[in-house]
Every structure is written in structure tokens, then in C-alpha cells.
Structure 1
Amino acid sequence: MDLEKQRDVRAPEGEGCLVAAVRLPVRIVALVVVLPVRMLWDALVAAGRVVNDTVLRPVGRALLWLGRAVFVWPFVALWRYLLVPLGTALARLVNALVVVPSVWLYVWVLTPVGHGVVWVLRAVGAVVAAVGVGVFRGLAWLVRYLLVVPSVWLYTWVLTPVGQAVLWCGRGVARAVGLLVAGTGAVLYWVTRLLLVLPALAVWRWVLVPVGRVCAVVGREVWDALGHAWRVAGHISRAVGRFLASLLRWTFVEPARWVHRSVLTPVGHLLRDAVLRPVAEAARSAGRAARQVVASARASVRQARADMRRALLGAPKETRPAPPVPVQVPGTQGMRK
């Protein structure tokens, strides 16, 4: 139906049988050729998105962080904590050693000397200008009467008549050459028109234009067929992708979720409540009993050692026996309470 709507919208009225004969086969062939390419393209796009989301973006972020840590942050620290203070110190040093003495030298030495030199140059320039004006006037008088006046006389009485005669002769020759060229051009025009232009015009009008129209119709239909086939192949590719996704979901994902939710989770809870917790409680009770036994044995050993020391060395005279310290066994305080 989409194909019929597109044909009804884009096809002009009164199209010939050539368009109708070319359109449907071309679109079928284009669909057969384009469908694998479109499916491969959609698969590559999906794979590229997965690779981009799972590999390229994390790797890019890691490389960006590594590049900042290796290249940016050391240079920023170098600029901030070394180059900027060093540059500030150098600027102050240059200002104190170069700029301030230079300004003082310019203001108090070079400026007065420059003003004196300018005054001397102005005086010398005035003298030189006066001498130059006199020399220029003398040279101008000589040039006028030795060059200008003879040149004007030569141009007026010799060159002008000769130039007018040469111009009249040149106009005659140009007119004759123009007539010859015009006649030759007219002959060549008609010969070219009869031998080249009219046959080429006939070939263009009766051969190339019809062939070009046929090629244009075929090319337009092929282009439209490729575009339509690309769109149809996209719908087919998406349908195939949705079918494969649904098949994968109902074949592997949903059974796995059901097994996890209905079998593994209850079995795990049963094992935790019936086996692991009692075993852990028994292990904690055994540990507490073992710690109590060890603590009692340590107290008995300390008491026997103290009795032996008193029997061999005697009890100390001025020292009072320390009150017995209750033994605190870890884990027994809560049981006593």
C-alpha cells in the first residue's frame, strides 16, 4: 500500500508504459539487493552501539583522565607554582633594572639632546632649502629653453602632420582587412553551420534528447526503487530484530528468570534458614566455649604460678594482695546479662 501511495503521489499524470514496465521489476530487484545490506547495516549499528557503551566510552574516559593526569595537571602545576612566580619576579627585576633607568635616561638625557639636535637640523635645513630653491630655478629655466620649447615646436610642425598621414593610411588598411575578414568569416560561418551545427542539432533533437529522457526515467525509477527498498528493508530488518529479541527472551531470559525466581531463590532461602544459620550458630557457640576453656586454663596457670612463687620466695611483707580481677571472656557478657 505504501508503494501504491508513493507512486500515486510522485508519478505525474500521463506517464507512458515505459515507466509502468520499468518501475515494478526495478523495485523488486532493488529490494532483493538492498535487504541483506540493510540488515547487515542494522546489525553493525547495534553492535557499534554496544561496543561504544561498554568499551569505547569507559576506555575513552580512562584515557581522558590519564591524559589529564599525565599532561594537563603537571603543566598546570608547573605554570601555577613555578612559571608564574618566576615570571613575576623577573618582571619586577626587569622593571627595577631596565625600565626605570631607561625612562630616567630618556626623560633627563635623550629628550634635551634630541631637542638640541632638532634645532640644529632646522637651521641647517633652512640654509640648504634656500640654496636648493635658487639651483632649482636655474635648472628649470635651462630645461625650459633647451628642451621644452624645441620639443613643442618639433611636435607641432613635424610629428603631428606625419602622425596624421600614418593614421589615414592605417585606417585604409584596417578597413580593407576588416572587409576581407568579414567575408571570410561569413563563408566559414555558413560552412560550419551546414556541415556541423545542423547535423549536431538534428542528432541532439532526434537522438540524444529521447535517449536522455529514457535514461532519466530509468535512473529516477532506480533511485526511487533504491530509496523505497531501503525503507522497506529497514522495516523488515527491525521486524527480524524484534523477532530474534523476542525469541532470545522467551527461549533463554524468561526461563532463566523463572528458574532464578521460582527455584533458586526458594532453595537458597531454605539452605540459608535450615543449614547455614544453624551451622553458623553452632560454630559461634563452639567458639565461645573454646574461648571460655582457654581463659579458665590461663587463670589456673597464673594462680598455680603465683602459689609456687609464694611457697618458694615467701609473700611480700608490705604489699597488699591485689583484688582478683574477673576474667572477661569475649562473647560471655551478653550471655551473663
Structure 2
Amino acid sequence: MELQKRPPGSSAPAEVTARPVHGERQPAPGGGCLVVAVRIPVRIVMLVLVLPVRMVWDALVVGARFLNDTVLRPVGRALLWLGRAVFVWPFVGVWRYVVVPVAKGLARLAKVCVGVPAVWLYRWVLTPLGHGCAWVYARVLVPAGHAVVRVLRAVGAGLAAVGHAVYAVLGVLARYLVVVPAVWLHTWVLAPVGRALAWCGRGLAWCVRRAATGIGVALYWVARVLFVLPAVGVWRWVLVPVGRVLAVAGREVRAALGHAWRVAGYVSLAVGRALGTLLRWIVVEPVRWVYRGVLTPVGHVVRDAVLRPAAEVAREVGRAVRQALGSARASARRARADARRMLFGEPAPARTADRREPSVAGGRTLGGSTTALTKD
């Protein structure tokens, strides 16, 4: 629509198209005052009907998210861990520590009991036998086969010559006894009779086609007058106007439903924020103040006055107990050593092995030698 005046000197008016609201479907142009009059009551009714449904829906969504975060997800993780502990880990242990070792043992047993004898049989029995069969085939069967093939080729050549002669005789007899009489019969008897029958059939088909065309035209006009013209009138003057009215009403109801759903969402969001703020000031803030102003100082006092001294005393007691236990273990160790020495005497000194290596004092130097040839 025209929102600004036409500036002087311009030939066309300045037009600014109104931007559509995000998420809202614009009504079709050319609705008229009837559509506008129907739109406002329909939107009001839809808002009244949709607002409780949207608030209940938002409440269910919030409750479902809270239930999922606080109950369903921890329970699901616990059930997953329990399922692994009950079903997966036992099967993994059985597979790793029972099935795999047993399978490896069976594989080794099969290798020893089956594989090694099979390899020995193949190497020392089947292979020599196969070589012998190959020698027989190459030295005996192949020459015999070649001789048989030569004989069969000679016999086949003779039979082929006889067959060609017989085929030529049969071809001449078939030509003059079958083909020539059949061609004469087709040319002078069957072809004239077939042409006459075809001409009669074409004439009969033309008559039937003309009669069917006349009957079809008559039935077409009867069906058009009795069925088509009344149906076209009902469609054009009754169904099309009613359909247009119903389409406008449906479009407006759909647009009103979307508009009401969005408005109800804003209302539900405002109500939810108000309830959240009220719950925060009634429950959360007092609890936070009690925690920060009362429980935290009391906890600090209890920690500094009771827990830390008790922890220091417990550490000192533990240190003293560990020292006493260490002294007792050392005394017991010394008593066992004295008793062993009294019963069995002093232990024999350990003998060092002679590795035949020169010591540090007797090593080779520039002024002396430790070899057998240069030894003083």
C-alpha cells in the first residue's frame, strides 16, 4: 500500500511493501471485508481454545525434561551398567578365558591328529601315486587315444560322404514331390479364395463400424443431456462457490490456529517465568540465604573446631601405632635371627665365583705385564 506521498518530479508513486511478521502466514490478497470480519472472531475463539492446551503442553514438556534429567537418565545408566555386568561381562569372561583356550587346544590337537598325518599321506603316498598316474597317462593313454582318434576320423569321413549323397537324393525327391505341388496349390487355389474372403470381411466390418458409430453418437448425446450438463451446472453454480467459501474459512481457521498457538506460547512463557520467579523468591532464595548465612559458618566452625583437631589426633595416633608396629617387627626379626644363630650357628660365608678376570690391582699397566710370556 502507499505509505508515502509521491515526491515532486517523480512519475511513479513511492510504494513500500509491508514486511510480513516472522512465522506468521499472510492472508491471501483480495479477501474483502467479509474475510476481515470473519478473521477477528475466529482468532479470538481459537486463542481461547488453544491457550489452555498450549499451557498444559508447555507444563508437560518441562515436567518431561525434568523427569528425564533427574530420573530416567540415571536409571537408564544404572540399568545399562547392570545389563553389562549381568549379560556382557560374563560372556566376555567365558569367551576370553574358556572358549578361546579350549579352541586353541582343539586347534593344536586337530593339527597334531589330523593335519600332520594328512600332510604325511599327501607327501609320501598321494604324490608318488599321482606321479605314477601322470606317467601312465602320458606314456600309455595319450598314444592309445591318438590312435583311436585317427581311426574314428577315417570312419567319420566315409560316413560323411555317404550322408552327403543320401541328403542330395532326398532333397531332389522332396523338391519335386512336396514343394512344387504346394506352391501350385497356394498360387492357384488358396490365394484367390483368401482374397475373396478378405474382401467380404472388410465389407462386413465397414457395415458394423457404421452402425456402431451411429449408436455411439446417439448414446453420447443422451448421456451428455442426462448426466454431463446437470453435473456441470451443479459443479459450476453450487460446488465451486461452496468450495471457495469453505476454502476461505479453512484458511482463516488455519491461520487463526497458528496465530493463537504462537500467542499462547508467549503467554505460557510469561506465566512460566512468573511462576519460576515466584518459586525462586519463595523457596530458592530463602534456602540459599540459610545455606550461606547459617549452614556455611556453622560448617566452618565445626571444621575448624572439631574435624581438623580430630584429624590431627587421628594422624598422630596412626603415626604412633605404625612406629610401635615397626619396632615390634624389628624386635621379632632380631629375636628370630638370635634363635637361628643359637640353634644352627653362624651361617657360612658366601664363596665368590672365580671368573678368571684380572683384579684392579693386578691389571695391565705400561710398566708391567700380566701375561705368561712377559711375567717376571
- Return the TM-score normalized by structure 2: 0.59
Q: What is residue 367 of structure 2 aligned with on the other side?
A: none
Q: Distance in 2 between matches of 1:239 and 1:110?
A: 103
CA contact (8 A) 2:47 2:263 kept: yes
Match of 2:65 in 1: 49
Distance 1:179-1:33 versus aligned 2 partners, 3 A rule: same
> Closer, same or farther in 2 for the Cα pair 1:123/1:178, shift >3 Å?
farther
Judging changes above 3 Å, is the alpha-carbon distance between structure 1 residues 252 and 68 closer, same or farther for their aligned structure 2 residues?
same
Which of 34, 39, 44 is matched with 2:55 structurally? 39
2:290 corresponds to 1:259: yes
Residue 278 of structure 2: which of 240, 247, 272 is its match?
Answer: 247
- The alignment partner of 1:171 has SS state of helix
Matches within 5 A, 1:257-296: 257-274=288-305
- Structure 1, gaps ≥5 residues long: 292-318, 320-337
Q: Following TM superposition, by how much is the alpha carbon of 1:28 offset from its aligned partner in structure 2, in angstroms?
A: 2.3
Higher-RCO chain (CA-CA 8 Å, sequence separation at least 6):
1
Alignment of 1:147-186 (within 5 A): 147-186=178-217
Residue 200 of structure 1 pairs with residue 231 of structure 2: yes
Deviations 1:170-194 (A, max 9, x none): 1111111111111111111111111
Larger mean CA deviation between 179-188 and 123-132 belongs to: 123-132
Q: 1:41: how far off?
A: 2.7
Greater helix percent: which structure?
Answer: 1
Q: Pick from 62, 81, 92 the counterpart of residue 62 of structure 1.
A: 81
* Whole-Å separation in 1 of the counterparts to 2:281 and 2:118: 81
Change (3 A) 1:95 1:153: farther
Find the aligned partners of 2:232 and 2:244 in 1 and give their Cα distance.
17
Q: What is the letter of the counterpart of residue 62 of structure 1? A: W
Q: Give, in whole Å, the separation in 1 of the partners of 2:121 and 2:254.
A: 76
Amino acid at match of 2:194: G
The alpha-carbon distance between structure 1 residues 81 and 196, as it changes in their structure 2 partners (threshold 3 A), is: farther
- AA aligned opposite 2:226: L
Q: Which stretch of structure 1 is more off in the superposition, 114-123 or 264-273?
A: 114-123
Report the 3-state secondary structure (helix = DSSP H, G, I; strand = E; otherwise coil) of the residue aligned with 2:28. Answer: coil
- For residue 55 of structure 1, what is the amino acid of its counterpart? L
Q: Who is 2:134 aligned against? A: 108
Q: CA deviation at 1:154?
A: 1.8
**Match in the other structure for 1:225:** 256
- Stretch of structure 1 that moved more, 6-15 or 118-127: 118-127
Q: Does structure 1 retain, via aligned residues, the 8 Å contact 2:42–2:252?
A: yes
Pairwise CA distance, 1:69 = 2.9
Secondary structure of 1:10's counterpart equals: coil
| Whole-angstrom distance in 1 between the partners of 2:188 and 2:286 | 121
Give the whole-Å Cα distance in 2 for the aligned partners of 1:245 and 1:123: 110
- Cα pair 2:24 2:258 within 8 Å, conserved: no
Give the drift of 1:237: 2.4
CA shift in 2, pair 1:194/1:62, >3 Å: same
- CA distance in 1: counterparts of 2:30 and 2:233, whole angstroms: 27
Q: Please identify, of 206-215 and 219-228, the stretch whose mean Cα deviation from structure 2 is larger.
A: 219-228
Residues 184 and 235 from structure 1, CA distance in 2 versus in 1: closer, same or farther, beyond 3 angstroms? same
- Is 1:22 aligned to residue 31 of structure 2? no
Whole-Å separation in 2 of the counterparts to 1:261 and 1:224: 52
Q: Kindly report which structure 2 residues correspond to 1:1-12, keeping only aligned pairs within 5 A, or say none.
A: 5=21, 10-12=26-28
The TM-score normalised by the length of structure 1 is 0.65
Q: Tell me the number of residue pairs that the alignment of Structure 1 and Structure 2 aligns.
A: 286
Offset from partner CA, 1:75-110 (integer Å, 9 cap, x none): 6888866668967977967994899969x9599389
8 Å Cα contact 2:24-2:259 kept in structure 1: no
Q: CA deviation at 1:227?
A: 1.9
**Alpha-carbon distance in 2 for matches of 1:227, 1:99:** 84
State the secondary structure of the residue aligned to 1:152: helix
Q: 2:37 & 2:254 partners in 1: Cα distance?
A: 16
Pairwise CA RMSD of aligned residues? 4.6
Amino acid at match of 1:127: G
Alignment correspondent of 1:309: none
Instruction: Say if 1:168 and 1:72 are closer, same or farther in 2 by CA, change over 3 A.
Output: farther
Once residues 220 and 68 of structure 1 are traced to their aligned partners in structure 2, the CA distance between those partners, rounded to angstroms, is 57
Q: Which amino acid aligns with 1:162?
A: V
Match of 1:127 in 2: 156
Q: Does the 8 Å CA contact 2:25/2:255 hold for their aligned counterparts? A: no
Which residue identity is paired with 1:253?
V
Deviation of the 1:229 alpha carbon: 2.1
- Distance (whole Å) between structure 1 residues aligned to residue 58 and residue 136 of structure 2: 81
Superposed displacement of residue 64, structure 1: 6.7
